A and B are shown apart, each in its own frame.
Chain A
Amino acid sequence: MSQAQGGQEKQSATEKTNPRARPRMRRRLKVAHPERCIGCLGCMFACSRIRTGTVSLQNSAIKVQTQGGIEGDFRVVVCRACADAPCARACPAGALEKKPDGRVVYHRDRCTGCGECEKACLVGAITLGKEKRPIKCIHCGACVQFCPHGVLELEEVPSEG
């Protein structure tokens, strides 16, 4: 998941250069209107394309799931950016580090691929990929740009600390 780290760097770069970035706020992805989803999977492709540089469903941190096929309703699974993040708490290796501002940052070099993070997240937002490394949302908002129906929003929430 070296690509995921690349994405992480990109995020901080954006933050530095973004003149609109106010201090003490952080961005959080939100599923504002799940019932408007048409199942195009554009968000998933955007996530893997922009965050990891691959064409893949598997590498996407956002997941559009079906319940009973496309006759049923879609379920859009995203990271909720929990204030007291269970994934970070569950990580025995310190690979998921909770920053003072509330963000959870992934350190690939510390990760053992044990999967405790995946077990800790009831939502199912963090999952182990093929290489047994977590696929984790960085709240970059790439998916939001490719949702044709306004299902997703990027909101700003007060950071902690």
Chain B
Amino acid sequence: MLRKVLYIDLTKNESWVEERQELFEDWMGGTGVGIRLLQEECPAGADPLSPAAPIILSIGPLNGIFPVATKTVATFKSPLTGELGESYAGGRLSLAMRFAGHEAVVIRGRAQRPCYISIRDGDVKIKDATSIWGIDAQTTGIILRDREPGVGRRSIIRIGPAGEAGVRYAGVVVDTYRHFGRLGLGAVFGSKRLKALVVSGTEHVDVPEIKRYREVYDRLYQTAVQTSAMEKYHDFGTSVNIGVLNFLKGLPTKNFLASSFDSAESIGGEIFAEKHLLRRLSCAGCPIGCVHIAGLKTAFSPHQEFELRKISYDYEPIYSLGSNLGVGSAEGILQLIDVCERLGLDVMSAGVVLSWATEALEKGLVGSKETLDVPLQWNGVEGYARALENIARAPNEFYEALGRGVECASEKYGGREYAMSLGRNEVSGYHTGPASIVGQLVGVRHSHLDNAGYSIDQKAAKKSMDSESMVEEIIREDDSRGVFNSLVGCLFARGVYTDGNIIDSLGAVGIVKSKEDLQELGRRIFEEKYRFKVREGFDLSRQRIPRRFYETVSTLGMVTPETVEEMIRIYRKKRGWG
């Protein structure tokens, strides 16, 4: 396998390929290679929306070759947090990059006018996108499908109006239903005047020993489809957790004012499945099919005329645009997800920003002058839909502030104690206990998926754990996920990829690693990311933890600041940060 990096410079309108064997040998691929390239490319203190800030897309050695290794990682400087930006998407992108022959793509500079990038094997073109600038993310996909080759094996990633306008949590839509959702990659695309990127390829991969490859493939495939390793992701999908977390008092409701929702039953995975589930889809290379697509049929006149929209749903959007906004109907949530899809907004940040705004309006920190008479109130779906449009359009200072994230908005208008972000990133849908809070705070990208603190809390609810063992588990996940994310596997499949299976699958593509090698790699990747974070100003000892976390009962009872502080202290000590 040739390990190449494709460089594209939008300012100079040129592209070239470099062989980077050593980079891939030292850092494996995916997030390992991504953070190294970010260190190389991004000057210290660069404005994340300036031409100097790069976009890096990378895949790993297993993508396209083994089942459920379906993700691509985007690495960039986040315009939301001002430090490490890292986001993962499934769909067909990793496969398309594999067969186009590029394990990593670096995008530099800023185009003179709106453009999109077309990659077809080794052929790279920067094309004019003036005529599609301003068009929603969905329609952009439809238009480019007709313009570009590679039906069935290509990937089309694009931004909507929110990314063009530089909303700090605008995402990039990948193949319609998947996303580089978090931390504002869409705004970085927009700042480069980059509307979309289309990749397709016709290359193939030769493995060293076909017999061994088939053996390992069969084993992983059978584990994925036959055992319970991934069971919870088919059937109802992640949305089944709405009921679970509601029961456990861990479901953030109305901006974390409560941790259970009286309408939870109306927005759970079971109801979505019964009333709206049309079909399930999968990312290329995954037999599970966890992508749940709802059909939302709404009448637009009394004369039997209907709109039919196909919308994907999952646990996190149901939390952020549902329980968190007091929205108690599946239809209302789907409608809001759809607005975010078209605008190209991260649903999680968008929901948390709106829940803060609702409370700020309720408490009189802002008034109708700021909201432009948009009624922001719990369960007010129509108002929320209009507010989302306004965030992308920024018609006044208030909506512009909302577009900068909840941290910025609360700095300006107050309500800090209920501005629900950690590390400046809007929080995910868990009020399970201290591990969730600490996990997101210390995590490299301030995501629940950095170390799954929410899952540690849930474990502790069954069998009590002290602060130290919780922290140890957070560190273990931090590091092992760094390895898995350099492969780049789907985190839903982490049960399939045991240490042994990772070693065997790497062996089948000619990469020899021991368990110790992998552990060391995980540590190095984590340290490299923290090096970048600290360089860009992140300081763990000076992070704001919203007081609301301590005022609302969690799965593990009331969380105290003392517990959280103690865990951070232990974390720092175990990391050797004194």
Interface residues of A (CB under 8 A from B): 38-42, 45, 48-50, 53-59, 63-66, 68-71, 130, 146, 148-149
25 contacts between A and B (CB under 8 A): A39-B282, A40-B283, A40-B285, A41-B95, A41-B285, A48-B204, A49-B213, A50-B214, A54-B207, A55-B64, A55-B65, A55-B204, A57-B99, A57-B152, A58-B99, A58-B203, A63-B152, A64-B152, A66-B151, A69-B141, A69-B145, A69-B175, A70-B91, A70-B177, A70-B281
Bitwise, B72-101 to A at CB < 8 A (1) or not (0) is: 000000000000000000010001000100
Closest chain A residue, CB of each to CB of B293: A71
| Identity of the chain B residue whose Cβ is nearest the Cβ of A53 in the assembled complex | B210
| B interface residues (Cβ-Cβ under 8 A, vs A) | 64-65, 67, 91, 95, 99, 141-142, 145, 151-153, 156, 175-177, 202-207, 210, 213-214, 217, 221, 225, 279-289, 310
Tell whether, in the assembled complex, residue B142 and residue A68 are in contact, meaning their CB atoms are under 8 Å apart: yes
Contacts A49-B214, A49-B217, A54-B206 known; A70 to B176 CB distance under 8 Å? yes
Bound Cα distance from A57 to B155, whole angstroms: 14
Docked CA distance A68–B217 (Å) = 31
Known contacts A49-B213, A54-B205: A148-B152 contact under CB 8 Å: no
Residues of A within 8 A of B286 (CB): 40
B contact patch SS: loop
A41 touches B142 (CB 8 A): no
Q: What is the CA–CA distance of A124 and B91 in the complex, to the nearest angstrom?
A: 25
Chain A nearest CB, measured from B299 CB (Å): 21
Report chain A residues within 8 Å CB of B177. 70-71
Report the minimum CB–CB distance from B76 to chain A (whole Å). 26
- State how many angstroms separate the Cβ of A158 from the closest Cβ of chain B: 32
Inside 8 A of B213's CB, which chain A residues have their CB? 49
Which residue of chain B is the closest to A146 with respect to CB atoms? B221
> Contact at A57–B214, with CB atoms within 8 Å?
no
Q: A66-B152, A149-B289 are in contact. List 17 more A-B contacts (CB 8 A).
A: A38-B279, A39-B282, A41-B284, A49-B214, A50-B214, A54-B205, A54-B206, A55-B206, A57-B99, A57-B152, A58-B153, A58-B203, A63-B152, A65-B151, A68-B142, A70-B177, A148-B288
Collect the chain B residues with CB atoms within 8 Å of residue A49's CB: 210, 213-214, 217
Q: Which residue of B lies closest to A42 (CB)?
A: B287
Cα–Cα, bound, A63→B152 (Å):
9
Most buried by B among A48, A57, A149: A57
A57 CB contact (under 8 Å) in B67, B153, B217, B225: B153
Shortest distance from the beta carbon of A136 to any chain B beta carbon, whole Å? 17
- Tell me the bound Cα distance from A38 to B286 in angstroms: 9
Closest to B153 in A: A57
In the docked arrangement, what's the CA distance between A42 and B287, Å? 7
- Collect the chain B residues with CB atoms within 8 Å of residue A146's CB: 221, 287
Q: Are A68 and B282 in contact (CB under 8 A)?
A: no
Contact in complex: A58, B214 (CB < 8 Å): no
| Chain B residues positioned under 8 Å from A66 (CB to CB) | 151-152
Q: Is the CB of B175 within 8 A of A70?
A: yes
Known contacts being A54-B205, A57-B99, is A38 close to B280, with CB within 8 Å? yes
In the docked arrangement, what's the CA distance between A71 and B206, Å?
32
Question: What are the residues of chain B within 8 A of A45 when measuring CB–CB?
Answer: 285
Min Cβ gap A52→B in Å is 8
* Distance A66 CA – B142 CA, assembled complex (angstroms): 12
Task: Kindly list the 4 A-B residue pairs having the minimum CB-CB distance in the complex, ordered from nearest.
Answer: A56-B204, A148-B287, A38-B289, A55-B205
Distance in angstroms between the alpha carbons of A66 and B217 in the assembled complex: 25
Q: What residues of chain A lie closer than 8 Å to B206, measured between beta carbons?
A: 54-55
> In the docked arrangement, what's the CA distance between A57 and B201, Å?
9
Contact check, B176 vs A69: say whether CB atoms are below 8 A apart. Answer: yes
Most buried by B among A58, A63, A71: A71
Bound-state Cα–Cα, A39 to B153, Å: 11
Contacts of B217 in A (CB 8 A): 49
Q: Is the CB of A40 within 8 A of B287?
A: yes
* Residue numbers in A under 8 Å from B156 (CB-CB): 69
Q: Which residues of A contact B310 (CB under 8 A)?
A: 71
Inter-chain CA distance A63–B150, complex, in Å, is 13
Quick check: A58 and B204 within 8 Å, CB to CB? Answer: yes
Of A40, A130, A148, which one neighbours B284 at CB under 8 angstroms?
A40
Cross-chain contact A56 with B280 (CB below 8 angstroms):
no
Cα separation A58 to B310 with both chains bound (whole Å): 30
Given A38-B282, A55-B64, the answer on whether A148 and B176 have CB atoms closer than 8 Å is no
CB contacts (< 8 Å) of B202 on chain A: these are 58, 130
Tell me, rounded to whole Å, the shortest Cβ–Cβ distance linking B281 to chain A. Answer: 5
Contact check, B152 vs A65: say whether CB atoms are below 8 A apart.
Answer: yes
CB nearest neighbor in A for B65: A55
User: How long is the Cα–Cα vector from A64 to B225 in the complex, in angstroms?
Assistant: 20
